[in-house]
Every structure is written in C-alpha cells, then in structure tokens.
Structure 1
C-alpha cells in the first residue's frame, strides 16, 4: 500500500543552516496490515507520515501510495489521493462549533456530497465507533476517548484505503488507549483498511501492530514483524525502547551500569517464545547456577497471536558464572539480552 524508496527530507538550505529530518528511508507497508513506526521525540516520525499524504514533499526519493507517486501529483490529483487517506491526530483536531455529526460530515461536505447521502453515511460511522447516541453533542461535551472516536469516524468518511495515525493515543489514559486500539484493530479487520501509525510507546506497537519500523535520527534502524523485533531486537535504539516496557522499578533502572565493577551482578533479559515458551528453563537455569539467581521482573503475553514471555534476572558477574550461563543459553536455544550490571 505504501512504499518509501530512498526517501530523504531536508528543511532549509543545503549545507550549513539546513536540517536533515530523514535520510535513505526504504520501507514497505503491506496492504491490509497495521504497521507501527516507533521512535523517540524528534526522530522523524511525524515528518515521515506527513510525506504519505503530501503535507510534506520528499527532498529525495519516492513515496508511493497504492501505486501512485505522491511527489509527482499536482494539487488537484493530490486532493483526490488525500480522499483515499484518512488521518487521526493526537489532539483530535475537531471543530468546537460543530457537533459530532457535523465534524464527521465535514470532509463529505467539502467533497460536495449531498445532504441525504451525508446523513446516510455519517450515522453508520458514528455507530461503528460506538457514538451513535452522541451525534448531537459538541466536542466540549465529550471525553477524550469519545473525541478520538469522532476523529476516527471523520477519517473514515471518504472510504479511505489507508488510515494514518499520528500519536493518536498519547493524550489518552491507559484504559481509553486500550479501547481506541481495539477499535482500530476491529476497523482494520472489518474494512480491510491499511493502518500506518506513529508512536513513541512500545506498548501501543505491541498491542496493535503486525509490523514495526524503528526510526532514530531520521533513519530506519530496524524493521520487521513486531514479534520478531520484540523478541530479538538488533539495534540499541530498539533495546532502549523495549527497556521502557519491561516494568523495571525506577530504582533498578537508575542503578544499571554498562561497565561492571568488582562484585557486581549481571542483569539479563530472558525471552521465551516458540518452543522455549513451554519449557521449564528458568528452573533449569537456577539449578545450573545455584540459588544465586534472582528474578526481578517478568510477564507472559501474546504478540501477533504468538505466546511471548520475558524475565529479567540477575546473577554474579563472575566470568565463570557468566560462562556457565551462556553455555546453558546456547544449549537450550534461549534468547537473552544483557541489560547491564548492578551492584
């Protein structure tokens, strides 16, 4: 549905005084998928997504949406393409003077659709997002989650093939975030709608995305199936983002060192998936290393329909102990990641 081919974006003049926001972006978004683009603030996420609907133009390379190169379109054709691309925003961007019904109707009015057709379209959309009884409410009378549902209904009004989500849940509380993500998953499945979302929250990607791309300093540093990236991150940026989802106590995070001192303990993340998800490997690790093993955090969940578990353990950083542990990991096929060292 979307392809970025050697895409770069620069703001300002070439050379000194300009700023390169994106460089050498190669990425494909499969039709019908939910693909997440994750990165820290300032990594280039918003710029990347704005290239898809032509709100920004690529400086180099091509952005292709459903076979059409966005950068080669004139204004009239670009308007036509934008009707095929819905977008939802972090702060909803509803018009305060219009009811929920009228906010959803707005893109249809702009497209010149007659009133009877608008009424026939907007009602079912509000029902789809669970707000059929809120049609005549104004944004000031709605909660944050309800406003975002109106925004989603509005984005669907022109029957788009692609839905862009720009940090759509970051202004919402966790419970509301979960309900919005479930709604997006249902829309993706029922309408076969491709969803491209940007976020800085690994929890959002893990919950909803089938595929993920990690962006750092304007470059894609890692991409693939969400499960594969989550289970075996290859880039430091990905590992840092994942660390925030491990639910480690703050005091423990603050005490992690990258270089051990005498007597320190190594902090290791053990990842269980596939065959290893059903084996009693933690008990065998304790038997191998003795009672020195401490379990500090852990959980079991499902990512992309596959079982996934992780444990954070610590044990002596003594080279002999570490060697025994690494041999155990090699023999059992257990995926591990050294997070650092603690006193």
Structure 2
C-alpha cells in the first residue's frame, strides 16, 4: 500500500543552516496490515508519516501510495489522495464549535456530498466507534478517549484505503489507550483497512502492529515482523526502546551501567518463545550458576498472536560466571540480551 524509495526530507539549504529530518528511507507497508514506526522524539517519525499524504513533500527519493507517486501529484491530485488516506492525531484536532456529528461530517461537506448522504453515512460511523449516543455532544462534553473516537470516525468518513495514526494514543491514559487500540484492530479486521501508525511507545506497537520499523536520526535502523524485532532486536536503538518498556523499578533502571566495575552484577533479559518456552531453563540456569541468580522481573504476553515470555535476572559479572552463563545459553538455544550492569 505504501512504499518509501530512498525517501528523504531536508529543511533549509544543504550544509550549514539546513536540517535533514528523514534520510534514504526504504520501507514498504503491506496492504491490509497494521504497521508501526517507532522512535524517540525528534527521530523523524512525524515527518515520515506526513510525507505519505503530502503534508510534507519529499526532497529526495519517492513515496508511493497504492502505486501513485505522491510527489508528482498536482494540488487537485493531492486532494484526491487525501480522501483515500485518513489521519488521526495526538490531540484529536476537533473543531470545538461543531458537534461530534458535524466534526465527522466535515470532510464529506468539503467533498461536496449532499446532506441526505451525509446523514446516512455519519450515524453508522459514530455507531462503529461506539458513540452513537453522543452525536449532538460538543468536544468539551467528551472525554479524551471519546474525542479520539470521533477523530477516528472522521478519518473514515471518505472511505479511505489507508489510515495514518500520528501518536494517536499518547495523550490518553493506559486503559483508554487499550480501548482505542482494540478499536483500530477491529476496524483493520472488519474494513480491511491498511493502518500505518507512529509512536514512541513499544507497548503500542507490541499490542497492535504485525510489522514494525525503528527510526533513529531520520533513518530506518531495523524493520521486520514485530515478533521477530521484539524477541531478537539487532540495533542498539531498538534494544534501548525495549529496555525502557521493561517494568523494572526506577531505582534499578536508573543504576544500570554500560560497563561493569569490580563486584557488579550483570542484568540479563531471558527471552522464551518457540521450543524454549516449554523447557525448565530457569531452574537449570540456577543449577548452573548456583544461588547467585536473582529474578527481578517477568511477564508472559502475546505479540502478533504468538506467545512470548521474558525474565530479567541478575548474577555476578565475574568473568568466570559470565562464561558459564554464556555456555549455558549457547547449549540450550535460549535467547538473551545483556541490559547492562548494576552495583
């Protein structure tokens, strides 16, 4: 549905005074899939997603939507494209002077649709997002989650084939975030709609996206199936994002060091999936290293419909202990990641 071909965006002149927000991005978004783009603030996520509907124009390379080169479109062509590409925003972007019904109707009015057709269209859309009883309410009378549901209904008004989500859950509490993500999953399944979302939250990607791309300093540094990237991260940026999502106590997380000192302990994430998910490997690790192993955090979850477990353990960073642990991991096939070292 979407293809970035060496796409880039630069602001200002080349050399001093200019700034490259996105550089040489090669990425495809599969039709009918939910794909996430994750990165820190300032990594280039928003610029990248806005290049899809022409709100930002590529200064190098191309962006194709359903085979159409966005950069080659006229203003009229861009208007046509934007009717096929819905967008939802972090801060909802609703008009305060219009009711929920009228906010959803707005893109249809702009497109010149008659009032009878608008009435027939908007009611079912508000029903779809669970707000059939809020048609006459103004944004000030709605909660954050309800406002975002109106934003989603508005984005669907012109029957788009692609939905862009620009940090759509960042302003919401965890429970409301979950309900919005479930709604997006349902819309994707029922309407066959392709969804491209950007976020800085690994939890959002893990919950909803089948595929993910990690962006850092304007470049895609890792991409693939969410399960593969999550269970076996290759790039340091991905590992850092994953580490920030681990539910470790703040006193522990703040004390993590990149290199050990004498007497420090290694902090290691053990990943269980596939064959290793059903073997008693934790007990065998304790038997191998002795009672020095501490279990600090753990979770069993699902990523893209596949079961996945993780444990965070610590043990002595003594070279002999590290060597014995590494030998054990190699023999058993257990995936691990050293998060760092703690005193």
Give the TM-score normalised by structure 2.
0.99
Aligned to 2:203: 203
Taking the aligned partners of 1:43 and 1:193, their CA distance within structure 2 comes to 26
Regions of 4+ moved over 2 Å: none
Structure 1 position 328, deviation (Å): 0.7
Aligned to 1:322: 322
> Is 1:297 matched up with 2:297?
yes
RMSD: 0.6
| Count of matched residue positions in the alignment of Structure 1 and Structure 2 | 343
- Deviation track 1:199-229 (CA, whole Å, cap 9, x = no partner) reads 0000000000000000000000000000000
Taking the aligned partners of 1:96 and 1:184, their CA distance within structure 2 comes to 24
Aligned to 1:218: 218
Structure 1 position 15, deviation (Å): 1.5
Taking the aligned partners of 1:41 and 1:328, their CA distance within structure 2 comes to 38
Aligned to 1:165: 165
Aligned to 1:250: 250
Taking the aligned partners of 1:102 and 1:256, their CA distance within structure 2 comes to 51
Which stretch of structure 1 is more off in the superposition, 252-261 or 159-168? 252-261
Aligned to 2:73: 73
Taking the aligned partners of 2:139 and 2:23, their CA distance within structure 1 comes to 39
Structure 1 position 258, deviation (Å): 1.2
Taking the aligned partners of 1:258 and 1:57, their CA distance within structure 2 comes to 40
Please state whether the residue corresponding to 1:336 is helix, strand or coil.
strand
- Deviation track 1:129-177 (CA, whole Å, cap 9, x = no partner) reads 0000000000000000000000000000000000000000000000000
Structure 1 position 296, deviation (Å): 0.6
Please state whether the residue corresponding to 1:13 is helix, strand or coil.
coil
Aligned to 2:12: 12
Taking the aligned partners of 2:35 and 2:84, their CA distance within structure 1 comes to 18
Is there any run of 5+ residues in structure 2 with no aligned partner, and where?
none
Please state whether the residue corresponding to 2:76 is helix, strand or coil.
helix
Taking the aligned partners of 1:331 and 1:299, their CA distance within structure 2 comes to 24
Taking the aligned partners of 2:244 and 2:261, their CA distance within structure 1 comes to 25
Structure 1 position 33, deviation (Å): 0.5
Taking the aligned partners of 2:308 and 2:341, their CA distance within structure 1 comes to 25
Please state whether the residue corresponding to 2:314 is helix, strand or coil.
strand
Aligned to 1:308: 308
